[in-house]
Structures are given as structure tokens and as C-alpha cells.
Amino acid sequence: MKLLENKTTLITGASRGIGRGIAEVFAKNGSNIAFTYNASVDAAKALEKELQSYGVKVKGFQSNAANFDAAQELAKEVLEEFGTIDVLINNAGITKDNLLLRISEEDFDKVIEVNLKSVFNLTKAVIRPMMKQRSGSIINMSSVVGVKGNAGQSNYAASKAGILGFTKSIALELGSRNIRCNAIAPGFIETEMTGALPEETVKEWREAIPLKRGGTPEDIANACVFLASDMAAYITGQTLNVDGGMLT
């Protein structure tokens, strides 16, 4: 059974890592895919080609999620191309880690803009069509770091905690229109983002996780399929930790 047949999903930041994994698993589950990327043109073209092999409609858009006007334009283009947006996955994100003593104002602002303001930009851009169709599922990529904090990541933690407050507020505002809004808090997922960490740190993370391994983009994608599908029709305003038990 394909859980997302005839749905259209817009995913931000799908050229690599978790976003790419979500695009693959969603396409396998029958969803048409509109996805964005920031700079990775070749990776985006390769993903378009790969997803087409699943028999779904696919298009990649180069669009900076941090830019308000670009998000409005993107939603317009996706609607023209696909006719509907049933699921929005706000996944695009960056890190610029440093201790508070050393962090620059620029690096604080940049992380908030790409990770948090982007969620506002895209969500605002899709809710009108979702309200008209009286259905929609919005999934925001937070982090365990947004739930519990992390030394050296005050900018990132603030952006991811902000996403949780935003998610609950949107769930309250739009529940009566049958638009659900949930967050996922991934733990330690092995992508380029975490690949930048020293091997010793990665080893320590893995050992601290009850399931004794880092997560994969597919682990996160499977949780997204559930939240996007009608199987989660009565779930909104929640944060699903997908972390191998890290926060237990």
C-alpha cells in the first residue's frame, strides 16, 4: 500500500542528507515531490532523475528558504506546476557552532534566519491553499538540541526550540481547518552536517545512544511518512523524537 498516493509534498533542503532521504521515501510511497536546494545544483538534478524512476512528478527549485519573497514565489510556482500542496516539510537547516564567548552576531542571525525564519516563510506561503482545500500536513524539522540545549550550539538550539513553539501555535491556529502541524526532533543522524564533527565526538555520541547507532535519513523519513499520511489524522501540535532513545 502506498501511503501518500496522489499527494504533493514540498520539501525544503532536499539536495543532501535528511531532506534527500525524505524525498526518496516519499516518492516510493507515491507522493509527487517538489523540493528545494540552496547551492547544490548537480545533486538536485541527480535527485530529480532518481525520483522520476518511481513514476511520480518531480521538480527541484533553487530557492533560499531564508528569503521571505522567494518562499512566496516558490509556493506560487509549485501550485502552478503541481496544482496542490498537501504536505510541507520544513527541513532546510545549517549549523554555525561556537561557544557564546566567540560566536559572532552574524553567525547567530544566519542560523536563526535559515533554520527558524524559513519555517515562518514557507508555512505562511502554503497555508492559504491548504485552508482552501481544508487539509494539509506541515512537518517541521527541529532537533533534540532544541529540546535539551547543547553547549556550543546556542544559535542552533534557539532556532530549533523556536520551531517547537511555532509548531504548537500553528497547530492551535489551523486545527479547525484540518491542517495539522507537527515537529520531528532527530537525534544524531549521520549526514554531512554531523560528518563535520571529529571522529572521537561521533564515537561518544554513538555510545551514548540507547540503540547504539547513529540514525539514518531513512529513519527520519519513515517518521515523516507517518505524520504526513492519514494514519496520523488525529495527531497535531506534537514533537516526535526520532533519536534512538537519546532523550529517554
Chain residues that interact with ligand NAP, rule: CB under 6 A: 12-19, 36-40, 64-66, 91-94, 114, 141, 143, 186, 188-189, 191-194
In the complex, what is the shortest distance from the CB of residue 180 to ligand NAP, in angstroms, rounded to a whole number?
A: 20
Whichever of 36 and 236 has its CB closer to ligand NAP, that residue is 36
Residue number, 17 or 136, with CB nearest to ligand NAP: 17
Instruction: Give the cell for residue 179.
Output: 491542517
Q: Cα separation of 117 and 244, whole Å?
A: 28
Residue 156 among the catalytic residues: yes
In the complex, what is the shortest distance from the CB of residue 240 to ligand NAP, in angstroms, rounded to a whole number? Answer: 12
**Residue number with CB closer to ligand NAP (69 or 230):** 69
Distance CA 73, CA 138 (A): 19
66 or 170: CB nearest ligand NAP: 66
Give the integer Cα–Cα distance in Å for 113 and 106.
10
CB of 17 to ligand NAP, least distance (A): 2
Nearer to ligand NAP, 166 or 188 (CB): 188
User: How close are the terminal C-alpha atoms of the chain, in Å?
Assistant: 32
Cβ closest to ligand NAP, residue 9 vs residue 36 = 36
Cβ 214 vs Cβ 202: under 8 Å: yes
Strand order in the sheet with 87-90: 58-62, 32-37, 8-11, 87-90, 136-141, 179-186, 239-242
Collapsing DSSP to helix, strand or coil, 116 comes out as helix
Quote the CA–CA distance of 137 and 170 in Å, as a whole number.
Answer: 11
Q: How far is the CB of 75 from ligand NAP (least distance, A)?
A: 14
CB of 63 to ligand NAP, least distance (A): 6
- Which residue is catalytic, options 37, 54, 156, 234? 156
Q: 78, 61 in Cβ contact below 8 A?
A: yes
Sheet strands (E) in the chain: 8-11, 32-37, 58-62, 87-90, 136-141, 179-186, 239-242
In the complex, least distance from residue 145 CB atom to ligand NAP, rounded to whole angstroms: 7
Opening angle at CA 62, ends 60 and 66, nearest 5? 125
Catalogue the active-site residues: 156
